Amino acid sequence: MSVEYRLAPEHPLPAAYDDSWAGLQWVANHSDGQGPEAWINDHADLSRIILAGESAGANLAHYVAVQAGLTPLPGVHITRLLIVHPYFGNEQLDKFYKYLSPTSSGSSDDPKLNPEADPNLVKLKGDRVLVCVAERDFLKSRGDAYYETMKKCGWGGEVEYYESKDEEHCFHFFNPKSENIAPLIKRMGLWGVLITSKISPTCLFWLNSHPILELYGMVAKGESKMNLLRPMGEELTLLDDQRREWEDKISQLNAQISDYEARERELPLVQEVDANVKELHQTIAGLNNHQLSLRASFRKLKEKTGEMDEEISKAEFDLVQSVQENASLRSKIVQSPDKLQVNSAKSIEKDYKTLKAKLSDDGVLDKSLDAKLVERQAKAQQLDELRKILEKEGNVKSERLQKNLIMLSWRWNQRGVIWKQGKGVESVVSEVDAITSKTNLVKESGAAKVQELVHKCEEVVEQFQQYKNSMELLLQ
């Protein structure tokens, strides 16, 4: 029979001790053949009970044997106690056991952890005790101490000892292919655990190990193995770091390869953009040359305008002098008509000839001014036609540049051309816009100057016409 006792830490100790003792009491209820389990009533001989346990179960089996000595169970006789790789304490504080049993000190003064400290040890129920240990078990020293304690404590039974060479804790479970399992089973069989009788079969009361204690044992064993494996682990860590480093380098190389492939895919577009940029540069150079030509023409027109301004100023000055002389002559005529009659005919004739010559000179000047006015009007018309032609060419080229820029912008947004080249195109566009604005300013300035010249010519013609009319009235 095996007891499924409650496990710590969900159920802290001594729950497992209480359940184990309750299990044996339940078995004892079958001593009169009227127990709840028919199989035990029919087949078990409760006068030949063997208590057995391994690891933590060995600790529990020892506790139940002591309790059976303190509290006799009618109809039950424990003949043997089998202790396999027992879990007991030593002189040091057992923090793990204290965690499982918060009410325990975890030290050698706890009788459950240290049988030597138990004053009721001599009352342990049973005739024979077999202590089994493993040579490489981390708990072997505790099994040895238990064996020595049972021999010298004054208990009246027989104590035996068996050691499995070159094996670890509970190896018969963790290493089922071990060659040392068969000798261990044979030793327990000779001792009586597996001996059965048709007349009086043995009742085996087995207490298994606590899973957490087994895990603790595995951890303890693992520490020694980890000490051996630590250099290999460090080497593996170093290799893993090198692997990550190489993976990072490979990722960088893959990124560079992807970048190069992307550049190769974008190369036709870049070449097309370069060609468009060169074409724009040529167009801009042509516009610059045309702008220089316009500036040269504008300078020449400005110089001619200056010359015409000087001639007009001179004509105005002569006109003013003629008006003054005419005014002086009229005043003389108005002030002294009698004197004029008295004057000799020669004086009048002389003045008449002078006036006629003056009028003749004015007529010549009038014709010269008319010719210059016609020339100015022709030049103004020529400038206006040139302005219209320039505006038309500028509009056509601006539309063409705008279309090219729109196409370039669309392609730029679709393909994501390199940022530096994009900066170059933007600078070209800004330069084109600056040139266009300068061209517009030149056009506006030329148009304003032409309008000014036309207005000034009209004023000169109007003044000359007034002067001409006044002279005709005077001569009449």
Please tell me the distance from the alpha carbon of residue 44 to that of residue 42, in angstroms, as a whole number: 6
Six-digit token pair at 307?
């010359």
CA 160, 164, 168, 169 torsion: positive or negative? negative
DSSP 122: G
Instruction: Report phi then psi at 158, rounded to 5.
Output: -100, 135
Six-digit token pair at 308?
């015409």
Number of Cβ atoms within 10 Å of the Cβ of 404: 16
Report whether 212 contacts 8 (CB < 8 A). Answer: yes
Enumerate the active-site residues.
55, 137, 169
Burial class for 119, CB neighbours closer than 10 Å (0-12, 13-18, 19+)? exposed
Burial class for 85, CB neighbours closer than 10 Å (0-12, 13-18, 19+)? buried
Distance of CA 233 to the CA centre of its chain: 32
Report whether 40 contacts 75 (CB < 8 A). Answer: no
Length of the chain: 476
464 half-sphere exposure, CB direction, 13 A CA radius: 25
Residue recorded with tokens 């129920």: 125
Q: Which of 214, 164, 208, 175 is nearest to 6 (CA)?
A: 208
Q: Residues 6 or more apart from 185 whose CB is under 8 A from it?
A: 172, 194
Report whether 83 contacts 129 (CB < 8 A). Answer: yes
Six-digit token pair at 426?
């933007």
Please tell me the distance from the alpha carbon of residue 210 to that of residue 19, in angstroms, as a whole number: 13
